[in-house]
Structure 1
């Protein structure tokens, strides 16, 4: 990639350059590529190992999803899919759980909003200082079955097994009454 192309991609990752959810999803794929290869505009100026996700990668994701142009829009399926891909790409984590928190909140935000349920703005919903319990649906009533099937297929395909997303999805699915150990059976996945 030429220097000009790298500069263009890097500029497109800045929140002020993100105009819509499609652009945000594309920017998240650049983060994913950096996680996979350890190279690229999101790793510039620092040591980054391939298949590793660090605090800077999590911060990139938070800045992209928090772009001001997206503030009043719910997390899109494309953005959620990009986060599933980042999660699957990262074999090592050194972000103190920040990505897992953001990932789970973004997926639940998408699932609830796609089901027509009320959700807070992104700055509230995705904030590390706001508990998901304060806004996420606590019952499956009103949750779109197609959305739940999509999440289950993503979890199976990407082998999602982190406890944070499993617990939070339990709230959306209404499986909160199930012991956490039984939740993988609901989605036909292993923890």
Structure 2
């Protein structure tokens, strides 16, 4: 574990969804997952082979369980949780999760953006579920979406090695750039594909 991110005295139960009591607690648990992705060690990697800088299906499952913990199920995804997810995304140089984390990331970020803009969002267990299409609940136009939130998302995506095409498409649609060819979107966000 990264000593700068997780204190050695922090109990490993802090990542257990049943121990999460707030979105701040969920953000801290996501930081533990991030540290496990970075180092290949820690409570979220115990009992399995995990390489440094790899995000696998178990890591994605940890993130989903943390984000849908009973205490936060009916709360919108917080900025701290969204930032932790972006950090996990950036920490993972290799992926072996079949796109599960990318789906979760896009849904969680849009859940945060919509709720921060005052728009209604479904409970996390519905919105973040793999079988729920993001288009079934995400805003599809700029009306009502806070531009500061969209700018924050773009700043989180700008210049990052791991881009999320689903998130890019949704943000582009929301801000009215859906008519741009997909190959031009990296220029809009200043990110490489």
Deviation at 1:98, TM superposition (A): 0.5
Structure 1 residues 35 and 177, CA gap change in structure 2 (3 angstroms): same
Deviation at 1:157, TM superposition (A): 5.2
**1:15 alignment partner in structure 2:** 17
Structure 2 Cα separation of the partners of residues 25 and 91 of structure 1: 21
What is the SS of the residue equivalent to 1:107?
helix
After superposition, give the CA deviation of every residue in 1:14-35 in whole Å (9 maximum; x if it has no partner): 1110000001000000000000
After superposition, give the CA deviation of every residue in 1:79-116 in whole Å (9 maximum; x if it has no partner): 00000000000011011110000000000110111111
**1:69 alignment partner in structure 2:** 71
Unaligned runs of 5+ in 2: 2-6
**1:89 alignment partner in structure 2:** 91
RMSD over aligned Cα atoms = 1.7
Structure 2 Cα separation of the partners of residues 172 and 11 of structure 1: 39
Structure 1 residues 111 and 170, CA gap change in structure 2 (3 angstroms): same
Alignment coverage as a number of residue pairs: 188
Deviation at 1:7, TM superposition (A): 8.8
**1:140 alignment partner in structure 2:** 142
After superposition, give the CA deviation of every residue in 1:121-144 in whole Å (9 maximum; x if it has no partner): 101100001000100011111111
Unaligned runs of 5+ in 1: none
Structure 1 residues 93 and 166, CA gap change in structure 2 (3 angstroms): same
Deviation at 1:185, TM superposition (A): 2.4
**1:168 alignment partner in structure 2:** 170
Question: Which sits farther off after the overlay, 72-81 or 171-180?
Answer: 171-180
Structure 2 Cα separation of the partners of residues 175 and 14 of structure 1: 40
Deviating beyond 4 angstroms after TM superposition, the runs of 4 or more aligned structure 1 residues are 5-8
Structure 2 Cα separation of the partners of residues 174 and 132 of structure 1: 18
What is the SS of the residue equivalent to 1:40?
coil
**1:183 alignment partner in structure 2:** 185
**1:111 alignment partner in structure 2:** 113
**Native 8 Å contact 1:54 1:93 kept in 2:** yes
Deviation at 1:180, TM superposition (A): 1.6
Structure 2 Cα separation of the partners of residues 24 and 82 of structure 1: 9
What's the TM-score, normalizing by structure 2? 0.91
Deviation at 1:183, TM superposition (A): 1.8
Structure 1 Cα separation of the partners of residues 36 and 99 of structure 2: 18
